Amino acid sequence: MVGRVGADSLELSEAHRFPNRPVRVPEGLRWDILALYGGVLDGLRAAGQVDSVGIDSWAVDYGLLDGDGALLGNPVHYRDSRTEGVAEKVWATVPAEQLYAATGLQHAPFNTLYQLLAARESAQLTHAERLLLIPDLLSYWLTGEQGTELTNASTTQLIDPRTREWSYDIASRLGVDLSLFAPLRRPGDPAGVLLPEVLEETGLRGPVPVTTVGSHDTASAVAAVPASGERFAYICTGTWSLAGLELDAPVLTEESRAANFTNELGLDGTVRYLRNIMGLWLLQECVRAWGKPELGGLLLEAAKVPALRSVVDAGDAAFLAPGRMPERIAEACRASGQPVPSSPAEITRCILDSLALAHRRAVEDAQRLAGHPVDVVHVVGGGTRNALLCQLTADACGLPVVAGPTEAAALGNVLVQARAHGLVGDLTGMRQLLTRTQPLTRYEPQGTTAPWRESQDRLAGG
Ligand code: LRH
């Protein structure tokens, strides 16, 4: 994505798009990282001369390097099953309550900490001298310089959200060697310049600086929430729905842990207090299973299916792994004694109702747990294109939804670079620029929230 930022203008254009296809090999699910890096180089070539480059990606995953700086294997996908049951073993050494009090991180089986412990005996980890999170790995290949970007580091479960530094105590109790990680760097810090080989490969003229951004895609997306004031919730929709609040300080209470809220780090000392909801992954996997029918038609049909006939718990980690998604959703409805959706339209409706319900629960729980009321829900990311999901979310929350921008992560990335180069002001200034320049759609809540409350109770009870 190429961004152009002026005093009163902000434009984004797509230079190049490439698929990200995980590959299943006999040992498990892997990222095709060289194909991704090849896509990055193609993208830079297509972008043409730029003043700065910034990289963000999904969280938690990493590549391991040997003493020569060479990658030791394809990064493992966080949906791989190697982490099953690991958390429970960790809690025997550091009880879950202590882990949460120290790191503020949700319990997700894929947190980097659990991945590292799952791989403890592996030849790769034994031989590794450096661990780079995915955006830091791509940045290293572009610049030759290594660092660990803070917002993404906060998803490792090895960062203390109060000090915004490593949690040395947790690392030492669990035998994680923190020297594997490169020094922390923060959004806005310089991250090097494109290497001569990269300039040659892409046809760019040096020097081209690489700028550290919120390299966790969700951190970049939250930075691009076009909110004014503090009384807002956000939902970053895409493969995941990340729903929550922007806070000044983490919430580390037992209640918050039990509700599985995470305290990830955001820009400028902020905390992203949110819950991971399975998101449009549920629909993406069904669409894949159905042989990729046209989505617009499917959503029109789904809108005609009666609302809230059956819902599933869209926060359930049982939906994490790929495969057989329509069957798994139908099975979950059957097991909870609800009507079993069967046609693609019925299953799609079940998914969208379930997501809206999970959005409602997250927005409600976050306000209560953080003592931070909101008047509006901002929806950013790919789900903004799904008008039915946006309307259902407004109805379920009983709050207006402001949808947009769609490419929030890319905009947040670009704005942090622009700020580092003196073109925009603070987070408030960035958000004002977004509000003035980006198309936004407002959805008013329709009807009462009573049916949603009933469905929520039914799900909790059953
Ligand atoms: C979204 C995301 C999310 C993480 C998950 C692994 O892309 O970064 O914030 O929890 O991927």
Mean pLDDT by 10 residues, the chain (462 residues): 96 97 96 98 98 98 98 98 96 97 96 97 96 98 98 98 98 98 98 98 98 98 97 97 98 98 98 98 97 95 96 95 97 96 98 98 98 98 97 98 98 98 95 98 97 93 66
pTM of this structure: 0.97
Q: How far is the CA of 305 from the centre of ligand 1 (A)?
A: 30
Q: Phi then psi for 135, rounded to 5 degrees? A: -65, -35
HSE value, Cβ hemisphere, 13 Å, CA-based, for 289 = 18
Which residues are identified as catalytic? 217
Measured by CA distance, the residue closest to atom 11 of ligand 1 is: 58
Q: Is the CB of 59 under 6 A from ligand 1?
A: yes
Measured by CA distance, the residue closest to atom 9 of ligand 1 is: 218
Q: Is the CB of 237 under 6 A from ligand 1?
A: no
- Give the C-alpha separation, 400 to 89, whole Å: 43
The pLDDT score that the predictor gives to residue 462 is 54
Q: Which amino acid appears at position 308 of this protein?
A: L
- Give the C-alpha separation, 13 to 11, whole Å: 7
Closest CA to 280 of 245, 246, 235, 310: 235
Q: Which amino acid appears at position 368 of this protein?
A: R
Which of helix, strand or coil describes residue 243?
Answer: strand
CB atoms within 10 A of CB 414: 28
CA separation, residue 229 to residues 105, 236, 373, 398 (Å): 26, 18, 12, 20
- Pocket probe for ligand 1: among 36, 58, 263, the residue whose CB has the most ligand atoms within 8 Å is 58
Closest CA to 170 of 87, 242, 101: 101
Q: How far is the CA of 242 from the centre of ligand 1 (A)?
A: 8
Measured by CA distance, the residue closest to atom 4 of ligand 1 is: 59
HSE value, Cβ hemisphere, 13 Å, CA-based, for 193 = 8
- Give the C-alpha separation, 105 to 252, whole Å: 9
The pLDDT score that the predictor gives to residue 460 is 85
Say what the ipTM of the complex is: 0.98
Name the region of 380 (left: φ>0; alpha: ψ -120 to 50; beta: rest). Answer: beta
CA angle at 255 for the pair 253 and 260, rounded to the nearest 5°? 95
HSE value, Cβ hemisphere, 13 Å, CA-based, for 394 = 20
